[in-house]
Amino acid sequence: MGTPEELAGVAWHISTKSANGGGECVEAGPLADGTVAVRHSHHPDREVILYTRGEWQAFIAGVKAGEFDFSTG
């Protein structure tokens, strides 16, 4: 979890897919060192998860490859 000082300057981004009214709102933002911070937009003062640049790139590659298209039914 990042310190308040680390997170103070984060430019948070929310996916346009999160604007569905269902409350599934995730925000992500880069830190100066390349780390990516992720939080729930409805609870910005709660825990923030930090990912290294490599972890984030691997996650994005997996999303683009469909590795996280989990079946719900």
How far CA 31 is from CA of 6, 47, 54, 61, 62, in Å, comes to 7, 16, 14, 20, 22
pLDDT tens-digit map of 51-62: 999 999 999 999
- pLDDT tens profile 22-36: 566 889 999 988 999
Does residue 12 lie in a domain region? yes
**Is 46 within the bounds of a domain?**
yes
pLDDT of 35: 92
- What value does the mean pLDDT take over residues 40-60? 92
50 pLDDT higher than 60: yes
Q: Is residue 71 part of a domain?
A: no
Q: Is the model's pLDDT at 11 over the cut of 70?
A: yes
In a domain, 73, yes or no: no
For residue 11, the enclosing domain spans: 4-64
What pLDDT band is residue 20 in, cutting at 50, 70 and 90?
Answer: low
Look at the chain and report how many structural domains it folds into.
1
Residue 70 in any domain: the answer is: no
